Amino acid sequence: MTLPSLPALELPEPKAPMYYEIWKWEGDPTVLPGTWLGCIQKAFGSPFADGWTTARFTEEFGPSKPQFDPEGIFFITTRSKCAGTCMLWQDDPADKTTARLHWLGVDPAHRRKGIARTLALLVLKRAQERGFQKVVLRTEVSQSDSPSVNHAPPVFFRVLKCVYCILLCSYFQ
């Protein structure tokens, strides 16, 4: 099956569920890494989120990186609490065709409300705006208790191959 090019797809508009809001990387840059970290820790728990700190996040994904895109890091919040997050990321800054839907995570207290779908659509829309041809998702299937991980591939992506419990997926319509 040939996958259509991402720019040619007509994606639905992302909409936050009722009582939730969409945020980008805006505001106080000293607070946002902590917001991301807290959400990832709740979404994935231990041991997956172990070792992550705000300093590590800033070092690996922050403004000093050429791939950093403040318009491509998303949060969905409710009552000022982060319910979910994900980002558009380029593994190779020189590759102008392929991006990754990265760190898609939803707090267990907010799952099954469409938050992961909204976050994925936000990343795909941003990828279109930036001219990427495809977006890949790499997820660990060992996160068996994580609906945001297990349900994202069938909803948005086609599994391309499974390697050592890692799914490599590509968007399809």
Per-residue confidence (pLDDT) for residue 32, from 0 to 100: 85
pLDDT at 35 over 50: yes
Per-residue confidence (pLDDT) for residue 157, from 0 to 100: 55
Query: What does the pLDDT look like over 66-103, one tens digit per residue?
Result: 999 999 999 999 998 999 999 999 999 999 988 999 99
What is the distance between the alpha carbons of residues 37 and 52, in angstroms, rounded to a whole number?
Answer: 7
Confidence of residue 164 (pLDDT cuts 50, 70, 90): very low
Per-residue confidence (pLDDT) for residue 160, from 0 to 100: 53
> Coil, strand, or helix at residue 61?
helix
Domain membership of residue 1 (yes or no) is no
How many independent structural domains does the chain possess?
A: 1
Confidence of residue 130 (pLDDT cuts 50, 70, 90): very high
Domain membership of residue 48 (yes or no) is yes
Domain membership of residue 16 (yes or no) is yes
Structural domain of residue 74, as residue ranges?
6-171
Nearest CA-CA partner of 81 in 42, 45, 54:
42
Sorted by sequence, the CB contacts under 8 Å of residue 80 that are 6+ apart come out as none
The residue count of the chain comes to: 173
For the chain, what is the mean pLDDT? 80
**CATH number of the CATH domain containing 64:** 3.40.630.30
Domain membership of residue 76 (yes or no) is yes
> Coil, strand, or helix at residue 75?
strand
- Mean pLDDT throughout 37-65? 90
- Mean pLDDT throughout 101-120? 93
Per DSSP bridges, beta strands 157-163 and 21-24 are unpaired
Confidence of residue 15 (pLDDT cuts 50, 70, 90): very high
Confidence of residue 49 (pLDDT cuts 50, 70, 90): confident
Task: Please state at what angle helix 115-129 crosses helix 147-156, rounded to 10 degrees.
Answer: 50
Amino acid identity for residue 61 in this structure = F
Domain membership of residue 14 (yes or no) is yes
Are 39 and 49 spatial neighbours (Cβ–Cβ below 8 Å)?
A: no
> Coil, strand, or helix at residue 45?
coil
Within 13 Å of residue 145, how many CA atoms lie on the same side as its CB?
Answer: 9
Burial 33-60 (b: 16+ CB within 10 A, else e): bebbbbbbbbbbeeebbeebebeebbee
Domain membership of residue 142 (yes or no) is yes
DSSP 8-state assignment for residue 60: H
Confidence of residue 42 (pLDDT cuts 50, 70, 90): very high
Domain membership of residue 51 (yes or no) is yes
Per-residue confidence (pLDDT) for residue 171, from 0 to 100: 46
Largest CA distance in the chain: 45
Are 60 and 91 spatial neighbours (Cβ–Cβ below 8 Å)?
A: no
